[in-house]
Amino acid sequence: MDDILTESLQIHRKAEMLLRDFRIVELWESMGAEVRFVGSFRSNLMMDKDIDLHVYTGELDAAGTLAALAPLFGDPRVQRSTFIDGAATDEHCLEWHLALKDDDGETWTLDMIQILAGSALDGFFEETAEAVRRAVTPEMRLAILKLKKAASAGNTICGIEFYKAVIEDHVQTWEEFLNWRKSNPVGSLFYWRPKENCHGGWSGADEEREPEYPVSRIPCEIFSLREHPEMLECFIGYFSSRWGREVLYRDCMTASVETDSPLPQWFLAVSPEGEIAGGAGLIPNDFISRMDLVPWLCALHVEESCRHRGLAGEIIQYASACAEFLGYRNLYCCTDHTGFYERYGFEFIGTGYHPWDETSRIYRRSL
């Protein structure tokens, strides 16, 4: 994986952890609000420690919101908060801007825009973020992230500028981007969205993908072995205890933390108490005849006490996001189950054959 893609993925994972740690979604939903993520977090194009979300409520009651979010505003890790009352404006919104410090001492910006449900802006920015996410090819993603990385901290550049410049106008270098900005004022981009089939000049046209909502509703953190090689023995012990063949997992996982190859990847979901709740892998082939299909979700397992709480879907989503960052357009799995993987966006595409003279159903999930 390119270093900048790895950096972006790590920022996104830290953002998920921050949202869970501060209970952002849970606090808003306690007052009956609907939370939707927007911006680079939703589009999987993060390079800054900046999280944007829109919150929809039936009324704009600042006092009621303050009461619901009291645990957040009272947290000593909140370094700064700003409130803007725009209830009487055409936007019909309240703005809550926070600076939060994470466990590593790094400062994050959290912009929460509380919008009146049913108003003109209801869903507008979410649809833009989804259109960007669907349009971006691996080549575009890399170009966008490189431009964001090149922008200095003092530059005030809206994400939509990067997206239009790269997706529609094929800008790839910082110099090209600066020249592009001269004829594309940000005020002219408010209603811009990628056009359907807008990949002219780029390879890897995308397929339609379902919206993703990466924040878990259960208090588990998902660890990647690539990012946490110190957990190697823990990974080997868990997967071999659930699936057998310890020598196979030891050899595979030990090599995976040393290789430059993007695959395999291994994931574990761990509870706040340090208990492993489940895990899965992302591999080039799952001992199946369809060698032309890559990558494969494998060894998915959720502990019985943690089932029926959405954890399997969360692990699948994590693996899917990883595969997408690696540039893959589809995720595959082989199984004997029917009716399970369909719930997570997989579709049955045929039968595959194993070396031990058995068959499995093959499923595909578009990313």
Buried b (16+ CB within 10 A) or exposed e, 142-171: bbbbbbbeebeeeeeeebbbbbbbbbbeeb
- Amino acid in the structure at residue 203: S
Distance between first and last Cα of the chain: 17
190: number of Cβ within 10 Å: 10
**Least confidently predicted of 147-156, 194-203, 237-246:** 194-203
pTM of model > 0.85:
no
Six-digit token string for 31: 């007052």
pLDDT tier at 153, thresholds 50, 70, 90: low
Per-residue pLDDT reduced to its tens digit, 22-46:
999 999 999 999 999 999 988 889 9
**Which of the pair, 112 or 340, is modelled with greater confidence?**
112
Which long-range CB contacts under 8 A does 115-119 form with residues at least 24 apart? 115/54, 115/55, 115/56, 115/57, 115/91, 116/56, 116/57, 116/58, 116/59, 116/60, 116/87, 116/92, 117/34, 117/56, 117/57, 117/58, 119/91, 119/92, 119/93
Token couple for 159 = 């994400």
- Using the predicted structure, report yes or no on whether residue 210 has a pLDDT greater than 80: no
CB under 8 Å to 350, separation ≥6 — which residues? 290, 362
Residue 241 or residue 220, greater confidence = 241
Ranges of H-type helices in the chain: 3-21, 24-29, 39-43, 62-68, 70-73, 124-135, 138-150, 159-167, 174-182, 232-243, 246-256, 311-325
C-alpha 83/C-alpha 65 separation (Å) is 11
